Amino acid sequence: MAVSRPDYAFPISGWFWSVNDCNGKIGDAPRADLKDFREVSSRVNSGKWNGAINGWGDRLARYKEALTALNVEMSDELRQNLDLAIKQNAGRNLKAGAAAFTPR
C-alpha cells in the first residue's frame, strides 16, 4: 500500500504493523529485533508475485546506516557480514528461500 500523503504515512504504518502482528514476529529477548529484521521485512513489503523481498540490498544498507546513527554496538562479525551481504545483494531483490544475511 503506497501512501501519497506524508501526514498519513505514520498512522497507516502503525495500523499495518498492528493488523499484521509484526510485534509478534519479533522476539522479546534483548535485541531480538536485530535477528528478526528479515522476517519483518518480508511481511512489510515482500514482492507478492515471486516472494522476493523488495530492494533487499538497499534495506540492508539502510539498516546498517540506522544502526550506526542510533549508536547500536555492532560486532566486527556483524559489520563484516552486513557489508558482504550489502555488496552481494546490491540492486537485487531477495527471493524467498535464497541464502541471505540474517543479523545476529
What angle (nearest 5°) sits at the alpha carbon of residue 90, between those of residues 9 and 48? 50
Range with the poorest average pLDDT among 17-21, 23-27, 52-56: 23-27
- Binned at pLDDT 50, 70 and 90, residue 69 comes out as very high
% of the chain at pLDDT higher than 70:
66
* Residue 72: pLDDT over 70: yes
Check: pTM over 0.75? Answer yes or no.
no
Cα–Cα distance for residue pair 47/88, rounded to 1 Å: 19
